[in-house]
Structures are given as C-alpha cells and as structure tokens.
Amino acid sequence: MSAMLTVRGLHKRFGEHEVVKGVDLDVRQGEVVVIIGPSGSGKSTFIRCLNSLEEPSAGSVVVDGGESVRANDRRAMARLREDIGMVFQDYTLFPHMTVMANMILAPVRVKGVSKADAQANALALLERVGLKHKADGYPGELSGGQQQRVAIVRALAMKPRLLLFDEPTSALDPETVGEVLSVMKGLAAEGMTMIVVTHEMGFAREVADRVVFFDGGKIVEMGPPAQIFSAPEHPRTRQFLQSVLH
C-alpha cells in the first residue's frame, strides 16, 4: 500500500524546552496508528505539528505522495492542512451555529462547495452517526458524546485523507465513550487513515494496525498491538503499560 504520510526528523521546541525530539513516522493509506504514552511526553504537540497548529522547528512532512514540505515552511504546511482533519479532546463545535451550520461551514467557505451539496453531504454524514435528527439543534443541546460524533463528521465533511484524533474520549462521561469509539471503529473499517492519540487501550488493541509508544518526545518503540501489548521490547514501554493496565 502507498504511503499516506511520511514524517522525517520532526522537532518542536518551545523556547529552550524541546518537546518533540526528532520523530520519523510512515503511515500507509488506510492504516490506523494509535499513539500511546505518558502525559507530557509530546503526543499532542507531535500531532498538532502535522496540521500546523504548532509550527515545527525542523523536519519534513509529505502527505499522500505530494511535495515534501519543510515542516517550518508555514504556508506550505497550511496547504497540507486541507487534507488533514482533526478531532480534539475538548468539544470544539461552534456554539452559536446549528449542527448543520457547523457541518457546512468549512466545505462552503474553504472548498467552495455549493450550499445544497454541502447540506446533502452533511445530512448523509449525520445519518451515519445517528444524529440526523439533531441537524437543526445547537451544540449546547447535545451530550458530550453527541457533540464529539458531530465533531468527527464535521471533520469528515472536508473529505480529509488523514484524520488526527487527540484524546477524543478523554473529556467524555464514561457512558458516552463507547458511542464515539464505535464511530471511530466504523471509520477504520471503511479504510480511513487515522492517527489516534488515546488512553483507550482496548481500542488500541482492537483497532490499531500499529501502536506507537511515545516517551520524552520520541518514539520509543512501535509495532502491531499484539506485539506491543504482549511482548514490549523496551523497559519504558513495559513500565507504562503496567501502570495503565492496572
């Protein structure tokens, strides 16, 4: 399968403090990569660099066989962003707009899709996550899990080639975590390329093609979930898994 994302030598420092210390990562088309690791290890910073919410200090990024972009070329990175969707931990639906208005905003304003087409597409996406009946509601009327499902399909409405998730279930009530994870499983099954930062080890085990263990701003080890969870090579991975699996 072809490479969807190629990252080379990615660094990010905030002043003196280096948070991402040279990351190389290849993600194949349709692959689901789950990033795990202790809090503060730079996972968020790393994936935020991929769609230039943070400006990387060094490195290069290639999306889907396109041009290789020096990671600190701000303009070029911003162009890559159109192919990359992102779902955050916090609810980030725009509170003053209906669910439908949230869904069609970027397709209409950024991609120039006609309003009618954008609406039709939005309804189909909402139907997929069981929220078609909420199209005219406001985010504040939805539960956390519902908001997060809308956030996922809002990102999908831009037809991204790669979806990033930064702890999408960490802010949810336990009883709504499942509904969000099952939407993500559905996407994975349909072949969406995804990078997911999460503490949901069950999800990682079940859905990931590859699990990446991140610590101290670096990839410590990676491999298929069976290998990482049953036979981690690195002592730090073992230590981390022990702390989260108990």
* Residues found near another protein in the complex (CB under 8 A): 51-53, 78, 81-82, 85-86, 88, 90, 92-98, 105-106, 109-110, 138-141, 154-155, 158
Interaction of residue 198 with ligand ADP, rule CB under 6 A: no
Give the end-to-end CA distance of the chain in Å, rounded to a whole number. 36
| The one segment of 42-50, 93-101, 113-121, 122-130 that binds ligand ADP by CB under 6 A | 42-50
- Give the residue with the Cβ less far from another protein, 105 or 219: 105
- Give the residue with the Cβ less far from another protein, 49 or 211: 49
Query: Taking the C-alpha atoms of 164, 165, 166 and 172 in order, what is their torsion angle to the nearest 10 degrees?
Result: 160
The DSSP secondary structure of the chain, one letter per residue, reads --EEEEEEEEEEEETTEEEEEEEEEEEETT-EEEEE--TTSSHHHHHHHHTTSS--SEEEEEETT---EETT-HHHHHHHGGGEEEE-SS--S-TTS-HHHHHHHHHHHTT---HHHHHHHHHHHHHHTT-GGGTTS-GGGS-HHHHHHHHHHHHHTT--SEEEEESTTTTS-HHHHHHHHHHHHHHHHTT-EEEEE-S-HHHHHHH-SEEEEEETTEEEEEE-HHHHHHS-SSHHHHHHHHHH--
| The one segment of 43-51, 146-154, 186-194, 221-229 that binds Mg ion by CB under 5 A | 43-51
Q: Residue 110 binds which one of ligand ADP, Mg ion, another protein, none, with CB within 5 to 8 A depending on kind? A: another protein
Residue among 9, 40, 140, 202 that touches ligand ADP (CB under 6 A): 40
- Give the residue with the Cβ less far from ligand ADP, 20 or 118: 20
Residues whose CB is less than 8 angstroms from the CB of residue 198 and which lie 6 or more positions away in sequence, other chains included: 34, 35, 36, 165, 167, 168, 169, 170, 204
> x-or-dash pattern for ligand ADP, window 9-38, by CB under 6 A?
-----x--x-x-----------------x-
- Give the residue with the Cβ less far from Mg ion, 44 or 237: 44
Residue among 44, 51, 52, 148 that touches Mg ion (CB under 5 A): 44
Residue among 42, 56, 225, 232 that touches ligand ADP (CB under 6 A): 42
CB of 48 to another protein, least distance (A): 8
Residue among 7, 31, 33, 43 that touches ligand ADP (CB under 6 A): 43
CB of 194 to ligand ADP, least distance (A): 17
Give the residue from 64, 66, 67, 68 showing the smallest Cα distance to 9: 68
Interaction of residue 199 with ligand ADP, rule CB under 6 A: no
Question: Which residues of the shown chain bind Mg ion in the complex (CB under 5 A)?
Answer: 44
Question: Which residues of the shown chain bind ligand ADP in the complex (CB under 6 A)?
Answer: 14, 17, 19, 37, 39-45
